[in-house]
Amino acid sequence: MSAATHWLHWRLERESNGLAWLVLDRAGSSVNALSADVMAELSQVLDHLDAAAPAGLIIRSAKPGGFVVGADIDEFAHLATPDDARALVERGWNLFARLARVRYPTLALIHGQCLGGGLELALACRYRLVADDPATALALPEVMLGIFPGWGGMLRLPALIGAPAALDMMLTGRRIDARRAVTLGLADARVPQRLLLQAARQTVLSGRKPRRAGGVAGLTNRWPLRGIIAARARKTIAAKDPQGHYPAPAAIVDIWERHHGNALLAAPLLARIIQSPTARNLLRVFRLQERLKANARGEAGIQHVHVIGAGVMGADIAAWCAYKGLRVTLQDVSMERIAPAIQRAGALFSRRLKDRRAARAAFDRLIPDPRGDGIPGADLVIEAISEQVQAKQALYRQVEPRLKTGALLATNTSSLSLATLREGLADPLRLVGVHFFNPVAKMPLVEVIGAAGNEAAQARACAFVGQLGKLPLPVRDAPGFLVNAVLAPYMLEAMRCVDEGLLPETIDAAMTKFGMPMGPLELADTVGLDIVLAAGKPLSAQAEPPNCLAERVARGDLGRKTGRGFYRWQEDKPQRGTPGQAAPGLSQRLIDPLIDRTQALVDNGVVADAELADAGVIFGTGFAPFTGGPLHYRQSQTGDSSRPIASPQHEEINTPGDYPT
């Protein structure tokens, strides 16, 4: 290598054969994001290379965590005018178009996360190699922020892999791994880490023609298939979002179909989308997610987890831990009780891990343990048995003497007081709550319940939750914690409406129209009406339950699990009738108790502040993300700015599509 040329964020190195390496190492940041100054320096680098063209250029990252996580999200918050929005899009569009036109071959060498603007940068290169590593992930997740890939992704991705696959990536924001990237044609090859540099040299100097979608995939970008695919995409968007709460997906289809992916040709639409309330609120949700992720900082020191209870929740917690690389021992009273849990885990591994060897390795990490032999070696023991205080306390008396020094004891209780459960423990401060939501594989939030004096144990449990790729929410010990506490009054108010004569279909339709992923009565059926009745009393000051709930429980109609509740259920789907006409203000009537309870929990210190409360309700209940959260929604409706909401840092959003149970 010759002497390197340095900028603040970029470093250019040349080999004697004329090959150049351009290394991105954004100053003052643990990840690479394409801020205005990073992009300005890239323009300077291209000027430098225009004066002395290399034989080939390889762009790579110096950050161990990945290639580029996208644009600098903070800059979106400062777009005050339509001209600002256009200037931001124009900057990236023009720069990456310039990169795509250079006369020397270019290659993006991708490891870890390659997201948003980072993938658009890679798409502007002639070749792309991806590291054969589970951490490699490529995506255009802009739609999750209420915006679109404006720096060339809507042009180059369909041309590379065909319109159907490209639209699927852009409209869902879904990540793809290294294997899938090669299968789609997005990457030229996946290469083991140890061979990446050598493979990059060979590929960029190979003289091969760049990939493009061929055959039918290539024709999907031309008429008449272009119009057919666009119409189909619009139909899918309308089915998922009939009220149009999220305008970005339709904008992506319009810009691809009518402007060949060039957002600059749709200037009014560009400004309207980027500056829309939905985009601003989804940006807020993105930041809230980062705030939750920040709770996971630190080392958990957990490699072996022992789970007691092989029911649905215990089984799925154990399977997820094994999927995430931990050694797991799973205990129940017999192998017959554990066997279904192992089958569920096998289905998860097969679905999530396409590589048979990886699926087999995960399966090998999950060890049936009916005698509890794993307890003495476990770093964390999670109890997930029935919600009975005496049963849990009796189990703790057996388990605690067998725990090794420093091991944590955790309960997955959804409602019981940890103060009560701690009674009788020799070291009561080692017990924490780790409340997962069902389905474990889908729900991103985990409530971590602590108490005065066990802050270190709570912090360690939060780090463990982060280890699992989940979002930890620290909460104080209180009935229902946060999520169940806010859902109870919401569901009970819906049931009072049934008592007043409204159809369940009318009530649920009002709330899905509002933007909830599921209506409150379908949610109650999914949770189980017996559980709603049991949990509702302590969470509603022991008030009498709605008649419609008490009557259904009395006759054994408990919802989905019995085939009948507020709906008849067939093949795990509710059979709905036609909704009636909703009275004006119905959705507000239903949502007000949820918001009131959320505010009360903040005021009482159950959750630290309004921002974390909004985060917990969004990621734990599916509360409509486009609103920015329940407390933010009320503030925006009333104009009350007396409770300011801060804005922490960024990375990626994954809005929930399911409620917890």
Dihedral angle, C-alpha 487, 492, 498, 502, nearest 10 °: -50
User: Cis (ω within 30 of 0) for the bond into 340?
Assistant: no
Which sign does the torsion angle of CA 268, 269, 270, 276 carry?
positive
Q: Which of 13, 41, 75, 142 is catalytic?
A: 142
Separate counts of helices (H) and strands (E) for the chain? 26, 20
Round to whole Å and give the CA distance between 492 and 514. 18
d(CA 52, CA 59): 17
* 389 SS3 class: helix
- Residues 186 and 140: beta-carbon distance below 8 Å: no
479 contacts 485 by C-beta, under 8 angstroms: yes
Q: Is residue 537 exposed (0-12), middle (13-18) or buried (19+ Cβ within 10 Å)?
A: middle
Q: Which pair of tokens denotes residue 108?
A: 């993006």
**What would the two tokens of residue 304 be?**
């072996």
- Supply angle C-alpha 253, 255, 259, rounded to 5: 135
Cα(419)–Cα(448) distance, rounded to whole angstroms?
14
Sort strands 66-68 and 113-115 into parallel, antiparallel or unpaired: parallel
The token pair at 358 is: 């990886």
Rounded CA separation 125/203 (Å): 12
Catalytic annotation present for 142: yes
How many whole angstroms separate alpha carbon 376 and alpha carbon 19?
Answer: 56
* Pair 164, 220: CB distance under 8 Å: yes
230's tokens: 């666009």
The token duo for 432 is: 């924490």
Please identify which residue in the block is written with the tokens 């067939």.
570
Q: Report the C-alpha gap between 86 and 569 in whole angstroms.
A: 50
387 classed as catalytic: no
Q: What angle do CA 50, 51, 54 make, to 5 degrees?
A: 65
Q: Name the catalytic one among 120, 383, 505, 522.
A: 120
Helix 312-323 × helix 335-352 angle, to 10°: 50
Q: Where are the alpha helices (DSSP H) in 52-140?
A: 82-101, 117-123
CA distance linking residue 110 with residue 624, whole number of Å: 34
Q: Which two tokens stand for residue 651?
A: 């990375």
* Contacts of residue 65, Cβ cutoff 8 Å, sequence gap at least 6: 30, 31, 112, 113, 135
- List Cβ neighbours of 207 (8 Å cut-off, separation of 6 or more): 105
What proportions of the chain, in percent to the nearest 5, are helix, strand and coil? 50, 15, 35
**Catalytic sites, residue numbers:** 120, 142
